[in-house]
Structure 1
Amino acid sequence: MIQLAQIIFILSVLVILHEFGHYITAKWFKVRVEKFYLFMDAGFSLVKKKIGETEWGIGWLPLGGYVKLSGMIDESMDTEQMKQEAQPWEFRSKPAWQRLIIMLGGIIVNILLAWVIYTVMYTTVGKKYVATEIIQKEGLAFGEVGQKAGFQNGDKIVSVDGKFQENFNRMVMDILFSEEVVVDRNGEQVKLNLTDEQIGEILDKEGRSFIEPRFHGSSVDSVLIGSQAAKAGLVKGDSIVAVNGQKFKFKDEFTSFLSQHKNDSVSIAVIRNNNEKILKAKTDSVGKLGFLFKSFIKDDFIVENKMSVFEAIPAAIKESWSLLVYNVKSFKLILRPATGAYKQVKSPVGIARALPDTWNWEYIWNFTALFSIGLAFMNLLPIPGLDGGHALFTIVEMITGKTLSDKAAGYVQTAGMIILLTLMALTFGKDIFQLVADKFFQ
């Protein structure tokens, strides 16, 4: 329920402020706003009240929101008023440049919101990120798919497309968007070029966890009930010293050694209560025993940079721009079918499941800023039904001097809404199915 409450709060903030961007610019140019709705009121609304010329309300369908402007074919698909003579207060009566500003008003507010949130965050709790330089001090460890793509345990990332990324989480994303990755391998620089198929396999099987810091792994955190490790007598808190007499410095060295001894008997030396014990165990068909090492804690690698207001403002602008660029790169990745990135697109249901199950204002506001830039980018896309689609037709009109007929505009808007609703149905359906499957089939 807390995850649901968080996503509703975040969506409400974003939708209200986005639509307010359209509302305030429309009022600025003296366009009549007939409706202002949070969520869609298809058929009926939960709450509504008319104040002045505008009906304010909350719809029952949590799919965004809208403002209905007089003299415009929009989500309401109201074409009747378009058959009447144009009035001075209508959207269609205003110059193209004014209509363009009104269409971009929501996007502008979304970008400004992210800027304001980051400015406040940087001056209060500081800019926080997991430092690449610190986290890869001992080198990096890669999953099976990452190693197939050419990475090796112990590699250190030197650059991605010619740049060093100080934020570790961003660096992982950069690698998935990259054309060239340079790693330091035992003092030698090695260049790697990931194919779309390799990127797709990483996204499908390992995600961001395909790359982790290489750390000293010896302490057992948990043992699976009924596993070979449990049968051998391994318990939480044991420190593994050696296997078959061979000592290991890093966790990945241990797992790599076991993977070469599938369905094999091994001798494990552990330290328990300051005493060494020798345990006999047998690996399974993939070379595992059924226990987990104590994991590294990312908080240990976090850098906190608290700023003054004068430092925070440009840093917040830079961060907002950086996120917009990441959205562009993500979209380009989605358009490359071989990567399978389109399978990772999530609806609000999927996003809510990824949110923490405790209320954390710092996380919520950071996520709101991130989501706000994503909403701005999505609405910039030149798709009929989105702000970018309306803006595109207005720009074409400004260049050519020709206006799209009301009939054609109606067809375009209908086509756009069908496309958007189909995409929403697919993403919602995928995430709802996954939710049900996780609840009842595992």
Structure 2
Amino acid sequence: MEGLVMAAQLLLGLSILVGLHELGHLVAAKMFGMRVEQYYIGFPPKVFGFRFGETEYNLGAIPLGGFVKISGMIDESLDTEKLSEEPKEWEFRAKPAWQRLIVMMGGIIINVVTGIIIFIILTYQFGDTYLPKEEVVKYGIVAHDLGKEIGLETGDKITQVNGHDYQSFSDLVDAEVFLGDSSYYTVERNGQTLEVPIPRGFLDKLSDKESISNFIDPRFPYEVLDVVKGSNAEKAGLQAGDKIVSVNGQSVTYFDELQYFLKENSGKEVTLKVVRKPENDAEPIINEAETLTAEVEEDGTLGFHTKQLVDLGFTDYTFAQAIPKGTEEAFNIVWVSIRGIGKIFSGEVSASKSISGPIGIAQIFGGTWDWVRFWRMTGLLSMVLAFTNFLPIPALDGGHVAFLTYEIVSGRKPSDKFLEGAQKVGMVILLSLMTFAIFNDIFKLFF
């Protein structure tokens, strides 16, 4: 079921973005009097279609892209049959270079605008909930395997990143930190201040969701939020509001400590000391802790959800404030993409760990339908789609933009034969990249 939800979110998100992208080309072309023969969301064979005016609007069976076919344009269809004839006034090739440039930029512009609008609305509607630096420094961090690998330890209090202050825990794991050439954390440990460098190319080890969760987490005290019905926690007598203060006599303050002790006793019976919240919501008394006996599941759990006892920060934005904030967040995605590609070409980050195809993207959407996460991912993909389409690769919009810019600057138009050849080369490059991404997804899924 989770796989179906992932696939459905991916297809809906891509259909929206591709539809808008191609609509940008279509509207710009019609604005300059060009004839648009076909508008496709997806690729043939056709599932559904209708004709309106001179244009046929279609939904294709292969939902991994889309296109518009503009008369007199050398595109992925490689339909060059009529190029030997004199250009008609309604053909793409008959229009001035600046008009053709706007048509090719239409899809990119629409994707950028879509991404910005999504992030502005999300910022305005939901604000920003975060774990403030004060709480991170108060309780420290939990260092998992990758965190320990670079020298971090559980309980470390990270006070600065690259010598600068930070606002929230998310700033500690922001892509900007790992894209730097000499990044480091300033840490307080056992009353001493030290620097923990982040190795070059470390981003390569944080290339997927599982790896990121194996880096660091915030440390926090906790209490039981609710108990799963029929679980071992319920059988033991745990209740909402309880705090487990020891497991088999070993003191527990933070949730990561509880997880450790429970995993150490997987499949075994444990003795729990529990401080129960009084009914009048007064502060519980440690000396009045109750003793419970519980059977730990094989996966090291008891069957309850936790409430983090930390003070979260929240920033609410007016619509006017959300405009620059949302725009900044949208363009930050483009900036991170540019730096990430630079790291791939420099060899610091491997392409196999950084490039994801449809399976990898679907996994990021997640197996449960969350509209906020869906629109955040769709906004991110919109900006990524705009960026990748702007790359100067023939067959992409950016390739057409590069040739048209050359024509405007030099006053000379590349020959139709050259453009046809470039289109073929570009299609080979794109098909190779798509094949690599899909097989790379499959490899990461099973190996």
Q: TM-score, normalised by structure 1?
A: 0.79
Q: Is residue 195 from structure 1 mapped to residue 199 from structure 2 by the alignment? A: yes
- SS for the counterpart of 2:90 is coil
Q: Which amino acid aligns with 2:32?
A: F
Shift of 1:307: 2.5
Shift of 1:248: 5.3
Counterpart position of 1:271: 273
1:210 corresponds to: 215
CA deviations 1:258-281 (Å, max 9, x no partner) are 99xx99xx99763169444799x9
2:66 is matched by which residue type in structure 1?
A: G
Cα pair 2:49 2:56 within 8 Å, conserved:
yes
**From 367, 370, 373, the counterpart of 2:380:** 370
Which runs of no fewer than 5 residues in structure 2 stay unpaired?
277-288
Aligned to 2:128: 128
Q: Aligned residue for 1:45?
A: 46
Matched, 1:389 2:399: yes
Q: How does 1:221-236 map to 2 (within 5 A)?
A: none
Alignment map for 1:335-374 (pairs within 5 Å)? 335-340=345-350, 342-374=352-384
Q: Distance in 2 between matches of 1:268 and 1:290?
A: 14
Shift of 1:110: 0.9
CA distance in 1, matches of 2:307, 2:395: 44
The corresponding residue for 2:179 is 177
Q: Structure 2: how far apart are the matches of 1:182 and 1:92?
A: 56
Do 1:39 and 1:62's aligned partners in 2 also have CA atoms closer than 8 Å? yes
Stretch deviating more after TM superposition (113-122 or 141-150): 113-122
Secondary structure of the residue aligned to 1:394 is: helix
Percent identity for Structure 1 against Structure 2: 34
Q: Secondary structure at the match of 2:109?
A: helix
Tell me which residue corresponds to 2:284: none
Q: 1:409 matched to which residue of 2?
A: 419
Distance 1:243 1:118, change over 3 A: closer
Tell me, in whole angstroms, the C-alpha distance in 2 between the residues paired with 1:298 and 1:102. Answer: 52
AA aligned to 1:26 is A
Residues 141 and 216, structure 2, Cα contact 8 Å, conserved in 1 = yes
Shift of residue 159 of structure 1?
4.0
Cα deviations by residue, 1:15-56 (Å, 9 ceiling, x for unpaired): 111111111111222222111110112xx3112222222111
Is 1:81 aligned to residue 82 of structure 2?
Answer: yes
- CA positional deviation for 1:218: 9.2
Whether 2:323 is the aligned partner of 1:319: answer no
CA-to-aligned-CA distance 1:272-309 (integer Å, 9 cap, x gap): 69444799x9xxxxxxx962487866897654433322
Q: Distance in 2 between matches of 1:278 and 1:365?
A: 45
RMSD: 3.9
Please say which of residues 295-304 and 348-357 is displaced more in the overlay.
295-304
Name the stretch that deviates more: 300-309 or 400-409: 300-309
Partner of 1:286: none
Q: Scaled by the length of structure 2, what TM-score is found?
A: 0.79
Determine if contact 1:196/1:339 at 8 Å carries over to the other structure.
Answer: no
| Superposition pairs of residues 28-177 of structure 1, within 5 angstroms | 28-41=31-44, 44-123=45-124, 125-133=125-133, 136=136, 137-161=138-162, 163-174=164-175, 175-177=177-179
Give aligned pairs, total: 416
Residue 282 of structure 2 is matched in structure 1 by none
Q: Give the superposition deviation at 1:157.
A: 3.6
Partner of 1:284: none
**Residue type at the aligned position of 2:370:** N
Query: 1:52-77 CA distances to partner (integer Å, 9 max, x unpaired)?
Result: 22111111111211111122111211
